[in-house]
Amino acid sequence: MKYTRKDFPDDFLFGVATSSYQIEGHSFGGAGETQWDTFAATRANVVRAETGAIACDHYHRYEEDLDLVAAAGFDCYRFSTSWARILPHGRGSPNQQGLDFYDRLTDAMLERDLKPCLTLYHWEMPSALVDLGGWRNRDIAKWFGDYTEIIMSCIGDRMFSTAPVNEPWCVAWLGHFTGHHAPGIRDIRATARAMHHVLVGHGTAINIMRGLGLGNLGAICNLEYAMPADNSKAAERASRLYDGIYNRFFLSGMFKGEYPANVLEGIESHLPANWQDDFPVIQAPVDWCGINYYTRKLIGPTSDTWPAYMEVEGHLPKTDLGWEVFPAGLEHLLKIVQHDYTGDLPLYVTENGMANDDIKVGINIDDAARTDYLNTHLDVVQNTLVEGVPVKGYFIWSLLDNYEWSSGYEKRFGIVHVDFETLKRTPKSSYHAIAKALLKA
Ligand code: IFM
């Protein structure tokens, strides 16, 4: 790595991130069926119809995995609890095995001196709640609040930080507009409601946690840097709308209590009645904001129905998911978020990393491309720190190769290789480079 921890402020935190459905193995420990199980069972949704049934078997191997996190010198471990593991039917009686698992997992982090950084919803909606409309149904905010209360009453006091929802754009837009993610809906009204309700759910969970006396609560958004594909006014307008839908809708809701006008043009008639009345909940104060960043998008206009934009292929080097490598986008976004929304609030890069076709040669896995990717993104974190942006930490996605949603197990994001036949873990060269950089004196 180009940097060591000494190049960053003393209180700067380094972490690595995972999520429950992507690594745990949802067939273990009494977890309920999730929307990803049924989405994967539907033709052509997921590569080879793969599910998270076994995943990395982290449910049984978490001690070994946390040993790897600690041995690399990370300060923090970002993980998520599964709604369907805690409440197999989404509501009602909790699954004690699920609560016990997260209790053990938490203690295992603390025993290794790792700060537990929790996300409460990383997409494993229990199927029973999808049957009731999932994020389309306004009651989801209350159900999410109930789930929050159950899990946080059990492990909340031991968390370093907690965020309710990972990547509200993915939840709402990929799940209900493009249909690329579960529940695989393609409907503008469903999308508008999911966009709004996911924010009401976020605020409800924050308020419940405050009520339990918990602190260091945040919001985590995935952001993409939108650029016009050419110099035309139409491309400029299209890229502003992409930015509005992808980035500003969620940030504006949470930090300003409003939605961008260009987004409302397309969705206002589909929002639930009296949606403005929900802003006091949506704006529940948070203590920090997390940004998940991977790439930029070049956007051009189309003559299609709203939002009438399209992604135009760019020519920068790409990762194995076809995402262009554009570190400058992270710098722009950190500055924009601070300037337009969060001011002095601590910012974290809560996910950053790349899919790479990592090949195992003997016992070695050389993923120099990943180390380069991390270095170039840390370069821009350095730039923002110099300019006074309060970035307080950086988390790599991901610890392990894992279930990459509709790509199944085909795309590898881990700094640790997982053989999905034997489940053997092998640290890649990026892991060794990070371990060297994070060595504490
Ligand atoms: O794997 C995902 C993760 O679940 C959410 N953020 C983006 C990652 C890479 O696609």
* Atom of ligand 1 at shortest range from CA of 413: 9
Which pLDDT does position 363 carry in this prediction? 81
Give the Å distance between the CA of 213 and the centre of ligand 1. 30
Region 243-255: mean pLDDT is: 98
Cβ atoms within 10 Å of 206's Cβ, excluding its own: 27
Give the pLDDT band (50/70/90) at residue 79: very high
Contact (CB, 8 A) for 289 and 219: yes
pLDDT at 284 > cutoff 80: yes
pLDDT digit string, tens, across residues 150-180? 999 999 999 999 999 999 999 999 999 999 9
Residue in the structure block whose two tokens are 């009345």: 277
Residue % of the chain over a pLDDT of 90: 98
Burial class of residue 316 in the structure, from the number of CB atoms within 10 Å of its CB (0-12 exposed, 13-18 middle, 19+ buried): exposed
Please report the beta strands in 1-55, taking only residues with DSSP state E, as ranges in sequence order: 13-17
Region 279-293: mean pLDDT is: 98
At residue 396, what are phi and psi to the nearest 5 degrees?
A: -90, 135
pLDDT at 93 > cutoff 80: yes
Which pLDDT does position 149 carry in this prediction? 98
Q: Is the peptide bond before 183 cis (omega within 30 degrees of 0)?
A: yes
Pairing of strands 360-361, 364-365: antiparallel
Give the pLDDT band (50/70/90) at residue 53: very high
Which pLDDT does position 440 carry in this prediction? 81
In this structure, what token pair is assigned to residue 24?
A: 């745990």
Angle ∠(419,425,429) on CA atoms, nearest 5: 105
**125-157 residues labelled b (16+ CB within 10 A) or e (exposed):** bbbbbbeebbbbbbebbebbbebbbbbbebbbe
Report how far residue 334's alpha carbon sits from residue 388's, in angstroms, rounded to the nearest whole number: 11
Report how far residue 189's alpha carbon sits from residue 113's, in angstroms, rounded to the nearest whole number: 46
Give the Å distance between the CA of 224 and the centre of ligand 1. 13
Write down the CATH number for the domain with range 5-437.
3.20.20.80
* Atom of ligand 1 at shortest range from CA of 321: 10
Which pLDDT does position 358 carry in this prediction? 93
Report the sign of the C-alpha dihedral through residues 321, 311, 335, 166, in that order.
Answer: negative
What Cα–Cα distance (Å) separates residue 8 from each residue in 216, 333, 334, 377? Answer: 22, 20, 17, 14
Alpha helices, H only, 212-248: 233-243
pLDDT digit string, tens, across residues 110-127? 999 999 999 999 999 999
Question: Is the Cβ atom of 292 under 6 angstroms away from ligand 1?
Answer: yes
Query: Does the predicted model carry a pTM greater than 0.85?
Result: yes
Question: Is the Cβ atom of 404 under 6 angstroms away from ligand 1?
Answer: yes
Give the Å distance between the CA of 233 and the centre of ligand 1. 32
Question: Is the Cβ atom of 351 under 6 angstroms away from ligand 1?
Answer: yes
CA dihedral 146, 102, 293, 68 (to 10 degrees): 180
Give the Å distance between the CA of 404 and the centre of ligand 1. 7
How far from the centroid of its chain's Cα atoms is residue 28's Cα?
23
Contact (CB, 8 A) for 124 and 130: no
Residue in the structure block whose two tokens are 């554009």: 326
Contacts of 229 (CB under 8 A, 6+ apart): 235, 238, 239, 298, 299, 300, 312
pLDDT digit string, tens, across residues 330-386? 999 999 999 999 999 999 999 999 999 998 788 899 999 999 999 999 999 999 999
Arithmetic mean of pLDDT over the chain = 98
pLDDT at 91 > cutoff 80: yes
Contact (CB, 8 A) for 117 and 177: no
Q: Which residues are tagged catalytic?
A: 167, 351
Region 16-33: mean pLDDT is: 98
Give the pLDDT band (50/70/90) at residue 210: very high
Which pLDDT does position 327 carry in this prediction? 98
Which pLDDT does position 345 carry in this prediction? 98
Report how far residue 420's alpha carbon sits from residue 61's, in angstroms, rounded to the nearest whole number: 14
In this structure, what token pair is assigned to residue 423?
A: 């489940």
Which pLDDT does position 403 carry in this prediction? 98
Report how far residue 187's alpha carbon sits from residue 179's, in angstroms, rounded to the nearest whole number: 9
Which contacts (CB < 8 Å, 24+ apart) does range 182-185 have?
182/34, 182/35, 182/36, 182/38, 182/39, 182/45, 182/123, 182/125, 182/130, 183/35, 183/38, 183/39, 183/125, 183/130, 183/134, 184/39, 184/42, 184/45
Report how far residue 45's alpha carbon sits from residue 184's, in angstroms, rounded to the nearest whole number: 8
Taking alpha carbons only, the member of 417, 419, 413, 425 closest to residue 373 is 413
Which pLDDT does position 360 carry in this prediction? 79
In the chain, domain spans: 5-437
pLDDT at 441 > cutoff 80: no
Which pLDDT does position 362 carry in this prediction? 80
Contact (CB, 8 A) for 364 and 417: no
